[in-house]
């Protein structure tokens, strides 16, 4: 039973005991007015004695003319050719067009039955073309009906008695489907064109309970995260019983055929499959599909009908577990599609190419400039570097520097990191000053410790300070020995050698991102208040910039033309909880407010590669794109890349979970059940959760380490960075970031040889930067086992696919 039973007609509310005469008709037409009928029972009583009102289903407020028609919810057919109501009802059942009500005419008799079918729709039709088509369709389905009923402004007389046959009003949506497919079927040109009423409906732009031809935007939204090419029909048949029935030759009802057609036409080959299946089973005698059934399939595709719910047409309760057939096209979260493939390069080929590339780079005849070598971890890069002479090799950390020093075959010296003294007070003081960007005062302190004039310090501390201060001069000395140092040291200090090799990509040191808080600024301001006016003015200038800094905008840092004289306020700053480096901000290239925490300011310091030097960057993650953006093509002398090399071991990637920090916290137990007994490399905060023994390496600190070589390993996590890292980097590369959309949402994207879903930006360059930064950490983490040469297994839990992955799984989806 319909929730809303009322409907509107126009009626003359004058009791009419018999058929009106021709003289009465003009007066009746004049008296026609809109009447709201509460239900079918009331309608029947209005049409029979003592009332027997004259009525019209069309609403025509300006008089009974087709030109005045505005809408219609009730339609009628007259039968006066001798067919009985029972015979007509039987046809209605066969055609799925059972009338809601029947009432007999004034002249009805047992010898010659005269009666009227009344159809009530669940919504009003609001365009005349559809109403005309419906009337013609009803007459075609009931050829024995009176042909004089074609006029949409037709007026009907009352009668003698009524019977209600169905209190379920006819779906306007289904009526349009039936009429449109019928007229496609009888189209004499066989063009299968859609009726004019579809365009009329679309022009109205209103929701009237049926689906119109959808817009391109709504189609794109519907197709989002779904895969309609290469459908597996046999697999679909296992999931949808009514589809299996159809394929096997069960004769389906019209509504069931249409329901399947609304879904299948979206799949490549779906419409053809339905046509061929119906023809095959018609030939075998299993089915008797009509031309109207075939037209239904075409109609669903032409009108781009969205999939009907299976519960609306499938008789099987099991099918109702799926919302619609098209749900089978939904791409599971974490699904990775390979869009192209190439054979991995043999290790021997890459090893030879790497050796030749480095030999050419070391050739005295080679020109100064930048050389980029992208080779996988474990290829033997350290072996090659250990044989070189008279070069500077820069690595990310002092720990890696010490490891490389032990493996060098030629005379080599190394710079050293800040020593750890016996006094915790001194260690903390030096660390805090460096963290604040104060490089002057620590040197003074170190010189005092090294000289130890008043014997205030221990001898071993004095010796450590002397050794450290000497190591700072190594880069500026004339020597043929190799020198090993760190990325940050080589980018901040002059050196004499002509040849510099970066072991691992120095991009994070070249584009160094830091931050400070408003609370840091308040502490600096308080310290400046105790100092001279020049310091106060500088702090006030910084405060002014930050006050004007709006969220969602990246700003170019102005030229301050000075350092922050921290030595003047160091005593005041000592003991304050300051984490930010304000001196770094003064020398930064650009800055922005944090998008989530407006009290935090991020900034990027843009360092430069040394000029007029021969520079090699050798890494599994170095990307030529960034250096072209920073320095142009002219500086890049040569580059070579081997992104996919044949692995001796396995890299199995589980992509069912995003494995961001929040995802890991939420699914920690489920992840633990899948990781087994392998060591786990992840975010530092999860170290104790995953490992019985503490892992000294984690995301952000895993480049170059070799102690996991040949061991099975789990790598858990997708190391997303703060969006400020991607945005500031893009700005430093010359991308007009402020003109772009910064929203990060789930999108279908392509990266290298894969297509997948990922939370990212709309802009392709921002996507590229984000993917690269995350990918760098994953590649370095996975590379610790050296699967390239070792027969071991790495299980990677991340939804960002790597090109080096040998197998993808969805066990955690």
- Please give the Cα distance from 640 to 384 (Å, whole number): 16
End-to-end CA, the chain: 42
**What pLDDT, on a 0 to 100 scale, did the predictor assign at position 757?**
86
Whether 111 and 60 map to the same domain: the answer is yes
Helix axes 624-631, 764-782, angle to 10 degrees: 130
Mark whether 436 and 551 lie in a shared domain: no
89: left (phi over 0), alpha (psi -120 to 50) or beta: alpha
**pLDDT the model gives residue 165:** 95
Mean pLDDT of 556-582: 74
Q: Is the pLDDT reported for residue 125 higher than 70?
A: yes
Q: What is the mean pLDDT of residues 503-518?
A: 96
Q: Which of 476, 478, 403, 468 is nearest to 442 (CA)?
A: 468
Report, in this order, helix, strand and coil percent for the chain, each rounded to 5. Answer: 40, 20, 40
pLDDT-based confidence at 511, cuts 50/70/90?
very high
- Separation CA 247–CA 278 (nearest Å): 9
pLDDT at residue 330 above 80? no
Mean pLDDT of 541-569: 86
- pLDDT given for residue 211 in this prediction: 44
Domain end call among 606, 631, 665: 606
Give me the mean pLDDT over the 107-136 stretch.
92
Mean residue pLDDT of the chain comes to: 89
Q: What is the percentage of the chain residues whose pLDDT exceeds 90?
A: 64
pLDDT in tens, 190-227: 334 444 555 555 555 443 334 456 778 778 877 776 77
Whether residues 320 and 423 share a domain: the answer is: no
Which CATH number fits the domain that encloses residue 56?
A: 3.90.920
Looking at residue 338, its pLDDT comes to: 84
Q: Which residues sit opposite 758 in a β-bridge?
A: 747
Nearby residues of 33 by Cβ (< 8 Å), 6 or more positions away: 10, 11, 12, 13
The yes-or-no verdict on residue 1 having pLDDT over 60 is no
For residue 335, what is the DSSP state? Answer: -
| Residue 258 near residue 177 (C-beta atoms within 8 A) | yes
Alpha-carbon distance of 669 to 664, in angstroms, equals 9
What pLDDT is stored for residue 813 in this prediction?
A: 63
**CB under 8 A, 24+ apart: contacts of 444-449:** 449/421
CA distance 758 to 767: 10
pLDDT tens digit string along 243-297? Answer: 999 999 999 988 899 999 999 999 999 999 999 999 999 999 999 998 888 988 9
Check pLDDT > 60 for residue 12.
yes
The pLDDT, as a whole number, for residue 305 is 84
| Pairing of β 7-12 and β 54-56 | antiparallel
66 and 167 co-located in one domain: yes
Q: At which of 139, 171, 203 does a domain end?
A: 171
Token pair of 743, please?
A: 């929203």
Structure tokens at 291: 């031309």
Degrees, nearest 5: CA angle 749-750-754: 125
Indicate the number of domains in the chain.
Answer: 5
Question: And the tokens for 587?
Answer: 């020398």
Contact between 618 and 382 (Cβ < 8 Å): no
Kindly state whether residue 714 falls inside one of the protein's structural domains: yes
Beta bridge partners of 8: 36
Taking the whole predicted model, whether its pTM rises above 0.75 is answered as: no
Instruction: Let me know if residue 739 belongs to a domain.
Output: yes
Res. 231 pLDDT band, cuts 50 70 90: confident
Task: Kindly state the greatest CA–CA separation across the chain.
Answer: 135
* pLDDT confidence of residue 349: 95
Of the residues 282, 311, 330, the one at which a domain ends: 330
| Mean pLDDT of the 410-433 span | 92
**Residue 98 above 90 pLDDT?**
yes
Please state, as a whole number, how many other Cβ atoms lie within 10 Å of the Cβ of residue 576. 16
In a domain, 369, yes or no: no
Instruction: Identify whether residues 154 and 225 lie together within a single domain.
Output: no
515 in the same domain as 456: no
Instruction: Please tell me whether residues 254 and 114 are part of one structural domain.
Output: no
Residue (of 310, 202, 291) closest to 246 by Cα position: 310
51-55, 168-172, 574-578, 639-643: range with lowest mean pLDDT? 574-578
Looking at residue 575, its pLDDT comes to: 62
Give the residue from 403, 412, 381 showing the smallest Cα distance to 696: 403
Q: Residue 265 belongs to what domain range?
A: 214-330
pLDDT given at position 304: 85
40 belongs to a structural domain: yes
Tens of pLDDT along 671-723? 888 887 888 999 999 888 887 677 788 998 887 788 899 999 999 999 999 99
The answer on 529 and 424 residing in a single domain is no
Tokens of 231: 């459908």
687: left (phi over 0), alpha (psi -120 to 50) or beta: alpha
- Give the pLDDT confidence score for residue 202 in this predicted structure: 54
In this prediction, residue 192 carries a pLDDT of 40
392 in Cβ contact with 497 (< 8 Å)? yes
Q: Is the pLDDT of residue 785 over 60?
A: yes
Residue 124 in 3-state DSSP? strand
Are residues 459 and 538 part of one domain? no
Residue 567 has pLDDT above 70, yes or no: no
Alpha-carbon gap, residue 281 to 289, rounded angstroms: 9
> In this structure, is residue 491 part of a structural domain?
no
Residue 621 has pLDDT above 50, yes or no: yes
pLDDT of residue 332: 67
Which pLDDT score, from 0 to 100, does residue 748 have?
82
Is the domain of 109 the same as that of 11?
Answer: yes
Does residue 253 belong to any structural domain of this protein?
A: yes
**91 and 24 belong to one structural domain:** yes
Q: Which two tokens stand for residue 186?
A: 């009888």
User: Is residue 261 included in any domain, yes or no?
Assistant: yes
Percentage of residues in the chain having pLDDT higher than 70: 93
Mean pLDDT of 497-508: 97
Name the β-bridge partners of 809: 654
For the record, the structure tokens of 154 come out as 């037709």
Q: CB burial class (10 A; 0-12, 13-18, 19+) of residue 428?
A: exposed
Domain annotation covers residue 615: no
Looking at the structure, do residues 160 and 229 belong to the same domain, yes or no? no
């Amino acid at each position: 039973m319909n929730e809303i039973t009322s409907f509107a007609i126009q009626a003359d509310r004058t009791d009419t005991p018999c058929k009106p005469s021709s003289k009465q008709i003009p007066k009746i037409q004049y008296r026609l007015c809109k009447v709201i009928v509460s239900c079918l029972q009331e309608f029947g009583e209005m049409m029979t004695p003592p009332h027997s009102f004259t009525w019209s289903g069309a609403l025509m407020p300006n008089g009974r003319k087709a030109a005045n028609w505005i809408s219609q919810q009730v339609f009628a057919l007259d039968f006066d050719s001798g067919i009985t109501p029972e015979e007509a009802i039987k046809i209605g059942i066969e055609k799925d067009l059972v009338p809601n009500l029947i009432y007999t005419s004034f002249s009805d008799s047992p010898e010659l039955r005269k009666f009227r079918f009344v159809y009530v729709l669940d919504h009003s039709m609001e365009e005349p073309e559809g109403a005309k088509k419906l009337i013609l369709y009803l007459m075609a389905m009931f050829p024995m009906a009176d042909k004089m009923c074609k006029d949409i402004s037709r007026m009907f007389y009352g009668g003698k008695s009524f019977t209600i046959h169905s209190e379920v009003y006819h779906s306007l949506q289904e009526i349009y489907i039936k009429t449109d497919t019928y007229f496609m079927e009888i189209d004499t040109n066989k063009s299968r064109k859609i009726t004019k009423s579809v365009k009329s409906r679309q022009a109205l732009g209103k929701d009237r309970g049926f689906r119109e031809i959808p817009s391109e935007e709504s189609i794109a939204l519907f197709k989002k995260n779904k895969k309609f090419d290469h459908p597996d029909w046999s697999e679909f048949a296992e999931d949808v019983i009514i589809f299996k029935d159809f394929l096997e030759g069960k004769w389906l009802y019209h509504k069931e055929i249409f329901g399947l057609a609304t879904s299948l036409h979206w799949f490549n080959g779906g419409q053809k499959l339905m046509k061929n299946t119906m023809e095959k089973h018609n030939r075998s005698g299993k089915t008797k599909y009509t031309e109207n059934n075939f037209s239904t399939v075409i109609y669903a595709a032409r009108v781009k009908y969205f999939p009907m719910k299976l519960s609306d047409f499938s008789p099987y309760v099991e099918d109702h577990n799926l919302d619609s057939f098209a749900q089978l096209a939904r791409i599971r979260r974490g699904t990775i599609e390979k869009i192209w493939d190439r054979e991995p390069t043999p290790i021997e080929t890459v090893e030879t190419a790497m050796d030749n590339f480095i030999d050419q780079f070391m050739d005295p005849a080679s020109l100064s400039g930048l050389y980029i070598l992208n080779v996988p971890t474990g290829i033997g890069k350290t072996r090659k570097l250990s044989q070189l002479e008279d070069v500077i090799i820069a690595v990310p950390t002092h720990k890696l520097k010490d490891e490389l020093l032990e493996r060098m075959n030629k005379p080599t010296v190394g710079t050293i990191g800040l020593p750890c003294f016996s006094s915790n007070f001194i260690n903390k003081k030096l660390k805090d000053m460096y963290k604040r960007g104060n490089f002057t005062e620590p040197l003074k302190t170190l010189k005092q410790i090294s000289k130890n004039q008043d014997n205030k310090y221990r001898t071993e501390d004095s010796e450590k300070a002397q050794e450290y201060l000497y190591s700072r001069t190594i880069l500026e000395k004339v020597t043929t020995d190799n020198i090993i140092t760190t990325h940050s040291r080589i980018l901040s200090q002059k050196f004499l050698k002509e040849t510099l090799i970066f072991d691992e990509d120095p991009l994070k040191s070249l584009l160094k991102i830091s931050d400070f808080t408003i609370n840091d600024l308040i502490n600096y301001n308080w310290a400046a208040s105790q100092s001279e006016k020049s310091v106060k003015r500088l702090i006030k200038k910084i405060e002014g910039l930050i006050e004007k800094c709006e969220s969602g905008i990246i700003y170019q840092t102005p030229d301050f033309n000075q350092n922050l004289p921290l030595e003047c306020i160091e005593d005041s700053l000592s003991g304050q909880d300051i984490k930010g480096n304000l001196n770094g901000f003064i020398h930064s290239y650009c800055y922005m407010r944090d998008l989530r925490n407006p009290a935090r300011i991020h900034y990027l310091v843009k360092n430069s590669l040394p000029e007029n030097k021969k520079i090699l960057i050798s890494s599994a993650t170095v990307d030529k794109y960034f250096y072209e953006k920073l320095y142009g093509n002219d500086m890049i002398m040569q580059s070579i890349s081997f992104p996919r090399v044949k692995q001796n071991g396995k890299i199995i990637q589980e992509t069912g979970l995003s494995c961001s920090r929040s995802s890991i916290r939420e699914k920690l137990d489920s992840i633990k059940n899948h990781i087994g007994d392998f060591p786990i490399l992840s975010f530092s905060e999860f170290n104790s959760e995953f490992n019985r023994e503490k892992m000294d390496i984690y995301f952000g600190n895993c480049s170059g380490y070799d102690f996991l070589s040949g061991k099975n390993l789990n790598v858990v996590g997708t190391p997303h960075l703060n969006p400020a890292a991607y945005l500031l980097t893009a700005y430093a590369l010359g991308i007009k970031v402020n003109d772009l959309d910064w929203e990060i949402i789930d999108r279908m994207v392509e990266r290298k040889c894969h297509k997948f879903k990922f939370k990212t930006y709309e802009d392709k360059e921002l996507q590229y930067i984000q993917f690269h930064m995350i990918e760098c950490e994953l590649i370095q983490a996975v590379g610790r086992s050296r699967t390239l040469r070792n027969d071991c297994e790495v299980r990677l839990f991340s939804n960002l696919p790597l090109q080096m992955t040998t197998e993808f799984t969805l066990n955690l989806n």
